[in-house]
Amino acid sequence: MENVQERIWLKNYPDGVPSDFDISQYDSLIGFIDQNLKKFSGSDAYTCIPKKGMQATLTYAEVDQKADQLAAYLQSLGLQKGDRVAIMMPNIVQYPIALFGIMRAGLIVVNTNPLYTAREIEHQFNDAGVKAVVIFDKFASELQKVLKKTPVKHVITTSVGGMLGGLKGMFVNFILRKVKKDIPAYSIPNEVVFGNALKMGAGKKVQRHESGMDDMVCIQYTGGTTGVAKGAMLTNRNLLSNMAQMRSWLAGAGMKDGAEVMLTPLPMYHIFSFTVNCLCMSSYGALNVLVPNPRDIPGLVHVIDETKPSLMSGVNTLFNALLNNQDFRALDFSGLKFVIGGAMAIQGPVAEEWKKVTGNDLIEGYGMTEASPVVSANPVGNSDAVQVGTIGMPVPSTDVRIMGEDGKVKGPKEGEGEIQVKGPQVMKGYYERPDETAKTITEDGWLRTGDVGIIQEDGYLKIVDRLKDMILVSGFNVYPNEIEEVVAGHDKVLEVAAVGVADEKSGEAVK
């Protein structure tokens, strides 16, 4: 397997196998981020256009300053190193400020889907021991329902208007809350508005904390290979290593520091967008174009037309929806370098049509939350080497094996088995769930993915099935037992079973 993989790398990259990015130069993930914020201080870092005529853009220097203010404010609350703070918001410019501010304060990030119901919020916040949360106001009413049942003591709310600032921001918030009634009413005692938190942190000194390579910096929730939502403990080493692996993989993409524009339609609370878009792209000084609502295809097309992205990530569902929009098909794609799809399989007809319309390959990769997430990907910068229907080859410093039911490793032509992964990006384990960790990571360090695959003779990997009882809807894991638990609670339901059925739009749907 290793020899096959090396031959493929050599063929795809004439300069040889990309050298691993040396992570030892950084003391921690936030040290890596801090360096990027300062190196590209004069460049635009994040922009968001929620509607036509509404845009907020922050430079790397502005993100740096505001993250420092938030870090100082969080420390002023008495939060201690290692305390957990949840982020619960869509793709808006406040997200990276919150993320980097929490890390800089020595606290642990808990990424939370803002669409979670009160029941899901209660489980996750109690499981992680969340003490503070930064939440988008549209979802605060759900938090209110269970706030007293959680360990949360501090709530910071943010909004679209808060993103825009000034009189315009106040006007937008008024329209959304009072006229359109788009923000459900809520009442949270001692709520602090995001902008006020920054003001209260301004001028205060941030106490720096040492963070070892194997210290946890993020708890990323996933159903894993079994159904109950569990927190994957991701460390400095995990995330920095995956950053290095991606930079090596991108060696053939012609990336230029300070010149790339990355379209970010996938939510950054999702591990794919979190690592690839929000974190890795900062090392290139790229401008991240944040899309709060990618389901609004006409709005997304407008954003693409306005910002002219050179890079893009997404899922098959989104690519297919764009291809069915005539305004998208009429856009100029001459500046687009590459597009990567993950979280769900890229369908052959979608990839073929995408290449026809845009002139770009849809580069399919593979990963999972427990691997920070990137495990493998098709090559970039070499169209002839892209194989639609495969998940490419392992990224550098990553071993992949196919384990048969008989406990023997399968080579090319030897049949299918469970895809198992070993590498520095593999998680520390599940938070306070040693039993679940033992089921997922073998004694000698192999991550059991629950996906069934094969290795082709040329070293490319292909997924053919999955072991885990999970439904994949537009790239998001949906676990039947969670649905069944909720439905079974209805007094008119005697018995319930949830299954996945094929769906043209989302890959699978719940039935």
Nearest to 366 by CA among 444, 247, 453: 453
Percentage with pLDDT > 90 across the chain: 69
Q: What interhelical angle do 236-249 and 29-39 show, nearest 10?
A: 50
Q: What is the pLDDT of residues 214-245, one digit of tens each?
A: 999 999 998 654 567 899 999 999 999 999 99
User: Please, are residues 318 and 360 in contact by the beta-carbon 8 Å criterion?
Assistant: no
Burial code of 116-153, b = ≥16 C-beta within 10 A, e = fewer? beeebbbbbbebbbbbbbbbbbbbbebbbebbeebebe
Q: Are 452 and 225 in contact (CB under 8 A)?
A: no
Pick from 158-167, 286-295, 470-479: least confident:
470-479
The 10s digit of each residue's pLDDT in 81-104 is 999 999 999 999 999 999 999 999
Q: Is the pLDDT of residue 276 over 60?
A: yes
What pTM did the predictor assign?
0.88
Tens digits of per-residue pLDDT, 307-339?
999 999 999 889 999 999 999 999 999 999 989
pLDDT value, residue 466 = 67
Query: Up-side HSE of residue 33: CA atoms within 13 Å toward CB?
Result: 24
CB 313 within 8 Å of CB 339: yes
Measure the CA–CA gap between 386 and 377, rounded to whole angstroms: 9
d(CA 387, CA 389): 6
| CB neighbour list of residue 151: distance below 8 Å, 6 or more residues apart | 125, 126, 129, 130, 131
pLDDT at residue 106 greater than cutoff 50 = yes
Q: What angle do CA 368, 374, 379 make, to 5 degrees?
A: 135
Residue 46: left (phi > 0), alpha (psi -120 to 50), or beta?
Answer: beta
pLDDT of residue 464: 85
Give the pair of three-digit tokens for residue 441.
């990571």
